[in-house]
């Protein structure tokens, strides 16, 4: 059975992606907290934890050594905080770039031999903020614009791999609740995409027949 590594898999969208593709893949559930991964490991018949703090590059390098062949790599882990340019400290910009961009670059570099061996598929969970910038979203959007550039470059340089960027609108997750609280608004989950909906789009991209290359998928909430 082909294998898939999903980062940020302990909850939210990452957990939903794992459940979406678990019938066709052996799942490596990526996360920095082993205890947080165990409920999903126990729920899925063919899954195991892959524990590493993605911003600890030495730890990631060591953890990647155990992966000899990999069919799918889903970069889902990320961080989003909002604030104006004049009030967002440089340290917060760095924190977001470290996880949203540099961690994805480093993990991809470490797993390229395993992905090449499988003729694999790399999926980047980007954001609508990776295509446009709204007020107070400059730092996060900058990290996601950069992630898109990395994905586009990887696609050009690795013709033996499929590389897909998913650009969802805002998703009903714990992170979204924190963002809405910062915006001073009341949380209404019906305003946002369901994690299972975005996970299904990821699954469709992965299951696309091999004669096609799904490069960019854009999803927006459909608020009737």
Any idea which residues carry the catalytic annotation?
140
Using a 10 angstrom Cβ sphere, with 0-12 exposed, 13-18 middle and 19 or more buried, the burial of residue 24 is middle
Q: Is the dihedral of CA 146, 151, 152, 156 positive or negative?
A: positive
Using a 10 angstrom Cβ sphere, with 0-12 exposed, 13-18 middle and 19 or more buried, the burial of residue 67 is middle
Number of H helices, E strands in the chain: 8, 7
Of the CA atoms within 13 Å of residue 95, those in its CB half-sphere come to 9
d(CA 210, CA 198): 21
d(CA 38, CA 49): 7
CA distances, 121 to each of 101, 154, 172, 221 (Å): 18, 11, 26, 26
């Amino acid at each position: 059975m082909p294998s898939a590594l999903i980062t940020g898999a302990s909850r939210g969208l990452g957990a939903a992606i794992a459940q979406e593709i678990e019938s066709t893949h052996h799942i490596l559930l990526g996360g920095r907290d082993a205890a947080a991964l165990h409920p999903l490991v126990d729920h899925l018949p063919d899954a195991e934890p892959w524990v590493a703090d993605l911003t600890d590059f030495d730890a990631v390098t060591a953890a990647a050594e155990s992966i000899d062949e990999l069919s799918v790599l889903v970069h889902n882990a990320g961080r989003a905080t909002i604030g104006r340019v004049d009030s967002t400290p440089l340290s917060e910009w760095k924190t977001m770039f470290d996880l949203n961009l540099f961690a994805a670059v480093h993990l991809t570099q470490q797993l390229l031999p395993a992905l090449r061996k499988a003729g694999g598929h790399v999926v980047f969970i980007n954001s609508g903020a990776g295509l446009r910038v709204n007020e107070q979203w400059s730092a996060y959007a900058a990290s996601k614009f950069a992630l898109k550039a990395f994905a586009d470059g990887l696609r050009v340089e690795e013709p033996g791999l499929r590389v897909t960027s998913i650009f969802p609108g805002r998703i009903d997750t714990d992170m979204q609740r924190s963002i809405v609280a910062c915006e001073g608004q009341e949380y209404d989950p019906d305003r946002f995409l369901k994690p299972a909906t975005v996970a299904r789009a990821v699954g469709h991209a992965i299951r696309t027949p091999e004669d096609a290359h799904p490069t960019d998928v854009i999803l927006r909430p459909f608020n009737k």
